[in-house]
Structure 1
Amino acid sequence: MDDEQEYQFNVKELYTDCYYYSGSSYENKHESDKAIEYVLMAANLKERFFPDIPSHYCTLAKCYRFIATKYDQMSNYDEAITFYNKYLEKMEKHPEDEFPSLGIHNHSSEIL
């Protein structure tokens, strides 16, 4: 990767991170709809910019879990299930990655 490509990669990474952190800020303000909107944008950008980069699967999974949890708290269970399933897909795709905030990946075979 040359300097320009590395720069573009880093800019895209920071850009998506800003959406995620904005969503977290809206969560702290108890604005669930805005929180979901921003974290969903972060997830969409991660998928678009970094579709085949394993180091971003954990971050993408974190976005999906965040969205699922917010929908669950809002009693929107169908959407929560959709995003929990997306979260699980990312976990299953790269089980060697650590998901430290939710230590269930080592037991996924027991659950499934």
Structure 2
Amino acid sequence: YRTSDDLYGPIVNLFCLSEIPRLMSLMPEKRTENKIVKKLPELERQRDNTINPGYKVLYCGCITTGTEGDVKQIEQAIWRILRSGNLQNIPVRFECLELGIKVTHDIDNA
């Protein structure tokens, strides 16, 4: 895959199933009957306008889950934030990295 620039098959399936425009724009052009099916211009514009990686989400608040990071702790923390009624709704970008996550302010990348 490295030398051919092809995407790994299972990853292509995940991209298709996700229906996330940013991921769909990474898909190679499909060839049918010796004709190249062009990508949608809208997806091209989105890719050009989106310099930063990650997903646009709304930041709601912060809460400590402890040091273990157990899924049950995380789920309980999410429910506490949602039920508190004190949501901030700040536009941010959310990236999943190898050893954690990165949240940056969408407007100024801070």
TM-score norm. by structure 1 comes to 0.25
More strand per residue:
2
More helix per residue:
1
TM-score norm. by structure 2 comes to 0.26
Max Rg structure: 2
